[in-house]
Amino acid sequence: MRDSLHKLVEVCELREPSVEEFLAALQSSGWLKHIKSIVDTSAFIATTVGDEGVSVLVQCSDGGDIAAQVCSLASLLLDPFYRTPTGDAAVSVRFPVQRAVLVSSP
């Protein structure tokens, strides 16, 4: 995942890429595969816990924080409050989007 993140940063640092160049670089970074995996796993957990009433144990094998990301997203999916405008606003306040400043060397 870290390699994909570094490649994603490189994609974002491209100077005036065409749409095709940007999308090709984004695809080759592998970042979207990681995001899809997190979303798919979160949906599986929400279905397993919410619909089937089964407890789950989530563990990240590579020492990263993927387990925290998956569990956080699953908890948002499980709570109907967060599917309302008020709940959406609460998420925005609780988890503000942090802007990364990308500095390129001259």
Residue in the block written with tokens 């925290």:
68
Of the candidates 5, 54, 60, 68, the residue annotated as catalytic is 60
Euclidean distance between CA atoms 45 and 57, whole angstroms: 9
Distance CA 69, CA 92 (A): 16
Q: Is the Cβ–Cβ distance between 48 and 74 less than 8 Å?
A: no
Residue 97 has φ and ψ, to the nearest 5°, of: -70, 125
Instruction: Tell me which residue has tokens 């619909």.
Output: 51
60 is catalytic: yes
- For the annotated catalytic residues, the residue numbers are 60
